[in-house]
C-alpha cells in the first residue's frame, strides 16, 4: 500500500457514545484549524471545550427524529464522506449539491454487548443496535482513499499521535490501516447482534468474533506461529513470571476446568499435557498438594499447579520445593507470594473469575466443529447400582471423585482413586484394557496401593476383561456410563468377583 497520497483533515464528523480521552484529540484538531460537525452530547462536549461546532441538522435540514434513531442518515453527510476527491464527476456533483467533504470520522458504536452482558431488558438491548454510527464507519472505511475513520475509543491515542506528527495530514497507508480496523469493528458488532438474535432463531451457522489478540512466542512447537484471542486479564492477574506460551494456556485451561469440579472442597490438581498426574482434596491446601503430588512426582516436574483456595505460607513452603511452570490460585497470602516469587520465571496467576464457555469449537477438515461444553458432573442421585453388591458411602465418594478426574482426561482413560486422592490413571490409550494396565503399573511404580480403590472409566466396557483385571488388582468398586450391548457380561464379572459397580448413563469422552 503506497503511503504518498496525503490528505489534509479539514472537516471532522465526531459522534461518540463515550467521551473518555476525547478531549486531547479535539484540542489537537482545533489547533490545526479543523472544522467540527457533530450531534447531541458530543456536540455539547466540543462546545464546552470552547470550539464552534456545525450541528448535523444544519447540514441535513432535519432534526434528530424518532427518539434519536435518525440523525446522520442523509446525503449531505454520507456524500461528504463518500465522494471521491480525485473523481471528476463526484467532485462536480458535490459542488452542485453544495456537499462539503468530510475528511475524518470519529464514531464509537452504542454499547450493544455491554447492554446484553448487564442483563437489561429486550427493548433496551434493541435500542443499543447502532444504525447511523455503523453506516458512518462503513462509509468512511470504504472511502479510505480520502477519509480517515476512527471506529473505537481505543484508537484515540494513535489518532492523536498521527495528528501531531503529521500536522493534521494523513497518508494513504494510515487511512488504509484505520479502515481495516473499522471493518473489524463493524463485523464484530454485527456478529454480537446476530448471536443475540440467534438465541431465539436457532439458525445453524457459525459466527464468532474476538477483538483482543496477543501474539504468542510460538505455537505448540517453535516452528508454529500462534495468537491467543481473548482477554486473559478478565480471568487472571499475573503476579510473577514470564509470558504465557501456547502450551501453558492449553494446560492452564485443563487445570482450571478440572479444579472447578470441586465446588466446596479444598482441591489441588497437577497437570501435564492437559492430563491430571495428581489430584486431591483435603482440609488445607498443603494437605491437598502433598496428596496430589504422591500420585506421580516425576510427571509433576515442570507441571501446571491449580488450586481453588488461597495459598498460605505453609502450602507455599512445600510447593516451592518443586520445579513447576505455573501456579494458579484464587489468592495468595503475602508471605506465600513473596516466597513463590523468588524464581523469576515461575508464572503465578491469581484467578479472578471462573470459566464461562458454553460452547467448544475447533477447526476440523475443511471447516469448524462446535459442541456444547461438557458441563455434566456425575452426582450421587444419578448413580444406578447394577451389581448385587452396592458401594458403601465412602466408596461412592471415591467413585464420584474418580469420575470427575476421568471426565477431564484424554480417552481412552481409566482412573484409579481413593476418597479425595488420585492414585493413578491410564490416559490416551487406544485400548481401555491398556489404559487400565497402565494405571495399575503406574500406581505400583509410585507406591500407591490400589487395594480397595475405585475405578472410573470414561466409556462403557464392551467386554468383562477390565472388570476381571481390576478385581485381580484388588480394586473394589467401578463407575462407568454403561450402554454396551454386553453390559451384562461386566455385571456378571463384578458379581463373581465381589465388585460393586454403578452406571452413570453418561459418557465423558475427551479427544
List, by residue number, the catalytic residues.
142, 273
- Report the candidate in 120, 103, 109, 202 with the shortest Cα–Cα distance to residue 159: 103
CA distances from residue 369 to 207, 238, 288, 362, 364 in whole angstroms, order as listed: 12, 32, 37, 6, 6
Q: Any idea of the CA torsion for 155, 158, 162, 164, to the nearest 10 degrees?
A: 110
Coil, strand, or helix at residue 349? strand
Cα–Cα separations (whole angstroms), residue 162 to 159, 171, 173: 5, 10, 12
Query: In this structure, are residues 103 and 146 in contact, taking their beta carbons and an 8 Å threshold?
Result: yes
CA dist 6 to 25, 173, 179, Å? 20, 9, 15
- Vertex 230, ends 149 and 197: CA angle to 5°? 75
From residue 353, alpha-carbon distances to 144, 195, 240, 350, 464 in Å are 41, 23, 19, 9, 43
With contact defined as beta carbons under 8 Å apart, do 72 and 132 qualify? yes
Interior angle at CA 341, CA 337 and CA 344, nearest 5: 165
Residue of 210, 18, 213, 8 lying closest to 106 (CA atoms)? 18
Q: Around 370, how many Cα atoms within 13 Å sit in the side-chain half-sphere?
A: 10
List all residues 6 or more positions away from 260 whose beta carbon is below 8 Å from its beta carbon.
Answer: 308, 354, 355
Q: Report DSSP state, residue 65.
A: B
Contact 66, 40 (CB under 8 A): no
Is beta strand 359-364 parallel, antiparallel or unpaired with respect to 367-372? antiparallel
| DSSP β-ladder status, 275-282 and 266-272 | antiparallel
CA 232 to chain centroid, in Å, comes to 7
Q: Are strands 347-351 and 324-329 parallel, antiparallel or unpaired?
A: parallel
For cell 478440572, name the residue.
258
Triad 505, 510, 511: Cα angle to 5°: 140
Alpha helices in 246-307 (DSSP H): 246-259, 285-295, 297-300
**Which residues are CB-contacts of 505 (< 8 A; sequence separation ≥ 6)?**
382, 384, 481, 482, 483
Q: What are the C-alpha distances in Å from 356 to residues 200, 232, 260, 270, 486? A: 20, 13, 11, 22, 38
Amino acid at each position: 500500500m503506497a503511503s504518498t497520497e496525503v490528505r489534509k483533515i479539514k472537516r471532522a464528523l465526531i459522534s461518540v457514545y463515550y467521551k473518555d480521552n476525547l478531549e486531547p484529540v479535539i484540542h489537537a484538531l482545533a489547533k490545526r484549524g479543523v472544522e467540527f460537525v457533530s450531534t447531541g452530547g458530543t456536540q455539547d462536549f466540543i462546545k464546552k471545550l470552547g470550539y464552534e461546532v456545525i450541528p448535523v441538522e444544519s447540514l441535513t435540514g432535519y432534526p434528530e427524529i424518532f427518539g434519536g434513531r435518525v440523525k446522520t442518515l442523509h446525503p449531505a453527510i454520507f456524500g461528504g464522506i463518500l465522494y471521491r476527491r480525485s473523481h471528476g464527476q463526484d467532485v462536480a456533483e458535490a459542488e452542485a449539491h453544495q456537499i462539503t467533504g468530510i475528511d475524518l470520522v470519529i464514531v464509537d458504536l452504542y454499547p450493544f454487548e455491554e447492554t446484553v452482558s448487564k442483563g437489561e431488558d429486550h427493548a433496551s438491548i434493541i435500542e443499543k443496535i447502532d444504525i447511523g454510527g455503523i453506516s458512518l464507519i462503513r462509509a468512511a472505511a470504504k472511502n479510505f482513499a480520502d477519509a480517515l475513520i476512527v471506529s473505537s475509543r481505543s484508537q484515540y491515542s494513535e489518532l492523536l499521535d498521527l495528528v501531531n506528527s503529521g500536522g493534521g495530514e494523513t497518508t494513504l497507508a494510515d487511512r488504509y490501516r484505520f479502515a481495516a480496523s473499522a471493518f473489524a469493528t463493524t463485523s464484530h458488532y454485527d456478529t454480537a447482534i446476530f448471536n443475540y438474535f440467534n438465541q431465539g432463531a436457532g439458525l445453524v451457522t457459525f459466527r464468532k468474533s474476538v477483538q483482543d489478540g496477543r501474539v504468542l512466542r510460538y505455537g505448540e512447537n517453535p516452528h508454529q506461529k500462534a495468537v491467543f484471542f481473548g482477554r486473559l486479564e478478565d480471568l487472571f492477574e499475573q503476579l510473577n513470571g514470564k509470558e504465557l506460551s501456547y502450551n501453558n494456556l492449553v494446560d492452564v485451561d485443563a487445570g482450571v476446568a478440572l479444579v472447578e469440579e470441586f465446588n466446596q472442597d479444598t482441591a489441588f490438581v497437577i497437570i501435564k499435557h492437559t492430563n491430571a498426574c495428581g489430584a486431591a482434596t483435603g482440609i488445607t491446601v498443603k494437605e491437598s498438594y502433598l496428596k496430589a503430588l504422591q500420585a506421580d512426582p516425576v510427571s509433576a516436574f515442570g507441571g501446571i499447579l491449580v488450586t481453588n483456595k488461597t495459598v498460605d505460607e505453609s502450602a507455599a513452603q512445600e510447593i516451592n520445593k518443586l520445579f513447576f511452570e505455573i501456579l494458579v490460585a484464587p489468592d495468595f497470602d503475602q508471605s506465600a507470594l513473596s516466597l513463590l516469587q523468588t524464581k523469576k520465571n515461575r508464572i503465578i496467576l491469581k484467578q479472578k473469575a471462573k470459566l464461562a464457555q458454553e460452547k467448544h469449537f475447533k477447526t476440523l477438515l475443511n471447516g469448524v466443529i462446535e459442541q456444547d461444553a461438557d458441563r455434566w458432573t456425575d452426582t450421587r442421585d444419578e448413580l444406578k447400582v447394577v451389581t448385587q453388591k452396592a458401594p458403601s458411602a465412602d466408596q461412592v465418594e471415591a467413585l464420584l471423585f474418580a469420575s470427575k478426574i476421568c471426565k477431564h482426561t484424554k480417552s481412552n482413560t481409566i482412573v484409579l482413586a481413593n476418597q479425595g486422592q488420585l492414585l493413578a490413571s491410564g490416559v490416551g490409550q487406544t485400548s481401555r484394557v491398556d489404559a487400565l494396565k497402565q494405571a495399575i503399573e503406574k500406581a505400583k511404580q509410585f507406591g500407591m496401593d490400589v487395594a480397595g480403590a475405585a475405578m472410573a472409566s470414561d466409556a462403557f466396557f464392551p467386554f468383562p476383561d477390565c472388570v476381571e483385571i481390576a478385581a485381580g488388582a484388588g480394586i473394589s468398586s467401578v463407575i462407568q456410563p454403561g450402554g454396551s450391548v454386553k453390559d451384562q457380561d461386566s455385571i456378571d464379572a463384578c458379581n463373581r468377583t465381589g465388585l460393586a459397580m454403578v452406571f452413570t448413563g453418561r459418557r465423558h469422552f475427551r479427544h
